Structure 1
Amino acid sequence: MATVAPQEPTAGPPGDPWTYSLRLPNDPRAARISRATLRAVLASHGMAELTDTAELLTCELVTNAVRHSDGPAQLRIRHLCESRLRVSIWDTNPTIPAPFDAPPSRLDRFTALTEAAANLDATSGRGLLIVRLCADNWGGYPLADDLFGISGKLLWFELTPQQRAYEIAA
């Protein structure tokens, strides 16, 4: 059964960091459940402006976790500092897909756009491309810890609210 639990106190000021975790079974409904959870968490913490992009990217990573692993997954939603949101997905498959196996480069959005233009007829395999195009930062790393029985990989992305042009000009 999936559970949602705050990992750190949320009673502090609105800018304080917080974390929520949701354990997901390997089930096709996991993406829908993760979107609903994410929507509720962001609305509760006054970060609703990130909801659309965060839902899309979370759905892509959760769907990949369900498709490419045979065990459970875990969604973690974290507010870091300066209204930065980090969403990470852990799954039991240790293989980190390219290009998440290396840090993003300064030209990665351009590279991702070039890949998208070259594969206009593709009907699958665009989830990580969407993450690369829409996230402010992203990455992945392997998890292998026999002591605690944790293995697999963690893929993550970060979003920050976009500053409005009039705010920048002021």
Structure 2
Amino acid sequence: MTEKPPTDPADHAEDFSQRYAEDLDIVAGQAMLDLGLSNHQMGARDPDRRSEHHTFFPGDREGGTISPAGQVTLDSGLMNPELLTANYDEATQRIWQKTQLQDRAQAIIAHELAEHEYGDHELALIAAPETNLPISYAARELLRRMEAGWRGR
């Protein structure tokens, strides 16, 4: 953590996430509870924090991940306005930047669960917008835009 926030968006998001990791862990956990995830699906052991169980990993930058056991975590990518720059079209990037934190979290959770179910990122892009989870309209629209705007890796 620095005294002055970094200028790079990913570094800034991680710096912010490190500073507010405890609060963001509560936000991530509540988002998972609101969507009806089971205790088993909510969070994992964070190797950067004495292997304690957390739902938010401030040092990671992907937005979220899913473990082979189906444990969902969110991370500092959630806060990064440029998270989708490398792999998505400009329209998707703009929607990501305008989408509120809660809706971003819901979209990431739905995507990660779809990725666990289908075993593939591109299949998850197709499946996630049709999730049965009670995600918001904004989260579902973000997922639809992510499917349409995927440019691949």
Which of structures 1 and 2 has the bigger CA Rg? 1
Q: Same fold (TM over 0.5)?
A: no
So what's the TM-score if we normalise by structure 1? 0.27
Question: Counting strand residues as a fraction of each chain, which structure ranks higher?
Answer: 1
TM-score w.r.t. structure 2 length?
0.29
Bigger share in helix:
2
